[in-house]
């Protein structure tokens, strides 16, 4: 069982930055692929970014490439999402998720564990 807790959301002006953190319980964090998703009311949860177990491979939604950076610190059981040049369309609840497959999945249904979410609001 893995419990995930996100933090770092908030209100920021367009062009600003935020860093989201997601800390996992347990001693097997390094065995999990980690992903960040986001969701706005009335829409499906969408993949934002994912990172392999060792942090070597990273993946991004096209619209956030060159603006967002995912990283992880396995010693701290934490995955990060650095978000720069934020846009109003980035406004959403952001969730981190974990699962133990071999490759980074991009669909929510393939993840086993989820955090409670953190709100990110970007004003224009």
Q: How far is CA 49 from CA 1, 88, 97, 124, in A?
A: 22, 18, 10, 24
The pLDDT value recorded for residue 26 is 78
Residue-level pLDDT at 109: 95
First CA to last CA distance, the chain: 40
| pLDDT per residue as tens digits for the range 70-83 | 999 999 999 999 99
Q: pLDDT tens-digit profile of 74-114?
A: 999 999 999 999 999 999 999 999 999 888 999 999 999 99
């Amino acid at each position: 069982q893995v419990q995930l807790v996100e933090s770092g959301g908030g209100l920021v002006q367009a062009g600003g930055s935020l860093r989201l953190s997601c800390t996992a319980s347990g001693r097997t964090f390094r065995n999990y692929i980690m992903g960040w998703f986001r969701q706005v009311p009335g829409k499906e949860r969408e993949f934002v970014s994912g990172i392999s177990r060792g942090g070597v491979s990273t993946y991004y939604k096209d619209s956030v490439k060159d603006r967002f950076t995912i990283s992880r610190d396995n010693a701290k059981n934490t995955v990060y999402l650095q978000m720069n040049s934020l846009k109003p369309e980035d406004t959403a609840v952001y969730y981190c998720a974990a699962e133990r497959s071999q490759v980074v999945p991009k669909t929510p249904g393939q993840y086993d564990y989820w955090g409670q979410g953190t709100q990110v609001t970007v004003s224009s």
